[in-house]
Amino acid sequence: MASHTAAINDHLALEFQASHTYLAMSIWLREKDLIGFSGYMLEKSIEERGHASKMIAYLVDSECEVQLPTIQSPEREFQTVQKLFDTVYSMEKQVTESINNIYSLSEQEGDRAATAMLDWFIEEQVKEESEARFVLKRLRLADSNTAALILLDQQFLDGTLLANIKAGGAFNLGAGGGGLGLGNGTA
Ligand SMILES: [Fe+2]
Ligand SMILES: [Fe+2]
């Protein structure tokens, strides 16, 4: 097996482990009645399985063997919501590092199909890290203020907390963007 396809197989463990860990986080948050946070982590858990699926599809379509990994049982207790998101952020950074490594290997192998597939992941990881960092910063601002935590939970439920980031509109300088109001929509 080529080094990059072996690395893709190894990487599947990170995606599945993230999915499993995010599910454990979703359960813990639900137990604390933080249903907005819980729903968000459940969504992330499902997304991570989707990421693994994309890589599996590439391997199968390229006639490379798929070796599904063993997944560790995740922690089921988290000290605080902020500590939980510290873990999310560091897991995402680890995934980014692994994707970058696979990208370099694929370039060395001259496998354009692999780099094309990985381009999506490169962009996705920028968004994932940005999201995790944003939530973490909000949690740091909230500190141990329960009212602030409940407000953030409600914003997850309403879908407003990450709306601006997800729309990629934070720096929309062009026509009609909501963004930071830098565009007036008439340009
Ligand atoms: Fe992922
Ligand atoms: Fe992720």
How close is the Cα of 140 to the center of ligand 1, in Å? 24
How close is the Cα of 28 to the center of ligand 2, in Å? 19
Q: Which CATH number fits domain 3-166: 2.60.40.10, 3.30.540.10, 1.20.1260.10, 1.10.260.40?
A: 1.20.1260.10
Give Cα 171 distance to the centre of its chain: 21
CA distance 137 to 106: 35
The count of other CB atoms within 10 Å of the CB of residue 83 is 10
Tens of pLDDT, residues 130-145: 999 999 999 999 999 9
Quick one: average pLDDT of 43-67? 97
**3-class DSSP state of 178:** coil
Which listed ligand is nearest to 22 at the C-alpha? 2
How close is the Cα of 174 to the center of ligand 1, in Å? 30
Quick one: average pLDDT of 159-186? 67
Q: Where do the structural domains in the chain lie, given as residue ranges?
A: 3-166
CA distance 14 to 20: 10
Tens of pLDDT, residues 9-50: 999 999 999 999 999 999 999 999 999 999 999 999 999 999
The count of other CB atoms within 10 Å of the CB of residue 186 is 6
Task: Work out the percent of the chain whose per-residue pLDDT is above 70.
Answer: 92
> Which among 156, 134, 137 has a CA at the least distance from the CA of 26?
156
Which listed ligand is nearest to 51 at the C-alpha? 1
pTM (2 d.p.): 0.90
**What is the SS3 string spanning 43-105?**
HHHHHHHHHHHHHHHHHHHCCCCCCCCCCCCCCCCCCCHHHHHHHHHHHHHHHHHHHHHHHHH
Which listed ligand is nearest to 93 at the C-alpha? 2
